[in-house]
Amino acid sequence: MTMDTQASGLDLTVQDVSVAFGGVQALRSVSLHAPAGRITAVIGPNGAGKTSLFNTISGFYKPSGGRIHLGGTDITSAPLHARAGMGLARTFQNVALFRGLSVLQNIKLGGHHAMRSGMLSSLLATPAARREEMALRSAVEDVIDFLELDNVRHKPVEMLSYGLQKRVELARGLAMSPKVLLLDEPVAGMNREETEDMARFILDVQEERGVTIVLVEHDMGMVMDISHHVAVLNFGELIAQGTPAEVARHPEVVKAYLGGEPAAANAC
């Protein structure tokens, strides 16, 4: 098992992807490209298809049409564990931590997908199993230091503030040594100080580790501040994409999402 905390990101391409549930069309021929090592934001009102898009990219939903490529490899039909093995990681809108475990234990779970030693090898403490365990511990310690979680490492996650719990979830994603990290509303429910801290850590992940980040977010101030590329969904269709400045000036976006005030926070 290799724990490469400085690995470069991969590009992610969604090409003409459609998703239907019975007679409901959740996504209609959506295409977007998230460049390697950059931050791409997906915005839109509730019901626009943002979560459906994330669920399709991560493998929870099967598209009814279109293709998904990760670093040039077609992953449209790949199972969840295969996508994780290729470097695709995700956090969720609602905190999905194991509440009976400590911060350290939750983060450590993020790296177990890459361990090749079976249960018997681990129980027998074979040399290969010991090497993997040491690599995992090193990667986890690196993430704890990177996200400034050392002072809460042994605390049960349920004792932490909401903002810290969201940071632990980010840490668990980083423990997977991702090439592409999907962040589903990473600052939802946070106060301004917590939002600024999370924005700083997301930028650090992109700038210092080269991870490709795709995020869904309603906080337009944060989106405009940290994103390199923005894609706008409405009723399952892509209606605009470009740089934050280009999207903020787009007539449909200004009218439908920004209330006539480009880059107004929390408007979409």
Q: What is the 3-state secondary structure (H, E, C) of 35-103?
A: CCCCEEEEECCCCCCHHHHHHHHHCCCCCCEEEEEECCEECCCCCHHHHHHHCEEECCCCCCCCCCCEH
pLDDT class of 246 with cuts at 50, 70, 90? very high
CA 13 to chain centre: 15
- Average pLDDT (135-146) is 90
- Average pLDDT (36-57) is 94
- The DSSP-derived string for 92-149 is -SS----TTSBHHHHHHHHTGGG----HHHHHHT-HHHHHHHHHHHHHHHHHHHHTT-
pLDDT on residue 49 = 94
Residue 106 has pLDDT above 50, yes or no: yes
CATH numeric code, 12-96+177-256: 3.40.50.300
pLDDT on residue 240 = 92
CA 21 to chain centre: 24
pLDDT on residue 23 = 84
Helix residue ranges per DSSP H, 111-268: 119-124, 127-146, 162-174, 192-209, 220-226, 244-249, 251-256
Question: Residue type at 57?
Answer: I
pLDDT class of 2 with cuts at 50, 70, 90? very low
Q: Give residues with Cβ within 8 angstroms of 90, minimum separation 6.
A: 54, 58, 173, 181, 182, 183, 184
Q: What is the pTM of this model?
A: 0.85
- Domain ranges in the chain? 12-96+177-256
Lowest-pLDDT range of 4-13, 52-61, 243-252: 4-13
Lowest-pLDDT range of 51-55, 201-205, 241-245, 261-265: 261-265
Residues 154-170 have pLDDT tens digits of 999 999 999 999 999 99
Phi, psi of 143 (to 5 degrees): -65, -40
Phi, psi of 218 (to 5 degrees): -95, -20
For the chain, percent of residues with pLDDT exceeding 70? 85
pLDDT class of 254 with cuts at 50, 70, 90? confident
| Helices 103-110 & 162-174 angle (0-180, nearest 10) | 30
pLDDT class of 264 with cuts at 50, 70, 90? very low
